[in-house]
Structure 1
Amino acid sequence: MNNPQRLIAWLFPDRRPEREQAREREFIAEANSLKTLSVSDRGRLSIDPEDLREQMVASREQLKHLVYCEIALH
């Protein structure tokens, strides 16, 4: 952290719960891992839909052990 960031952090501490701060850090890390995420000079975000789809498919594969699906055959 540089000095202005330290001063701002000291003057305005983040009072949110640690869990919420951790979720925000996780979201930022995931967003940074997207290959085609770009931000315009006016703050507009854009991303290649295919990149987003690939990320969702990979996440679904990682979490599929949490879902139990029973198929009833008649």
Structure 2
Amino acid sequence: MKWFGRLIGLVCRDNRSGQEQARDRAFIAALNNLKSLRVTPDGGMSIDPDEIREKVIANRQSLKRFVR
């Protein structure tokens, strides 16, 4: 199976910049940290709005020093 992964890697190269790839990895890591993230069998996703609201408020408070 290793050879198949290498073949796919050669055929389907990711030509995006390293910064864009890092941003995508950070986004995926943030999604993985959500406790209420649910994926439906048909590919849809649902997230508890209260959890998102709590995280946004906490981040605003922690970054408040950067905004006047």
Structure 1 residue ranges (4+ consecutive) displaced by more than 6 angstroms after TM superposition: none
* Structure 1, unpaired ranges of 5+: 69-74
CA RMSD of aligned residues (A): 1.5
Q: Which has the larger radius of gyration?
A: 1
- TM-score (normalised: structure 1): 0.78
Give the letter aligned to residue 41 of structure 1.
Answer: P
Give the letter aligned to residue 37 of structure 1.
Answer: L
**Alignment length (residue pairs):** 67
After superposition, give the CA deviation of every residue in 1:14-66 in whole Å (9 maximum; x if it has no partner). Answer: 10011111111111111111110011111101011111111111221222121
- TM-score (normalised: structure 2): 0.83
* Structure 2, unpaired ranges of 5+: none
Query: Taking every aligned residue pair, what percent have the same amino acid on both sides?
Result: 45
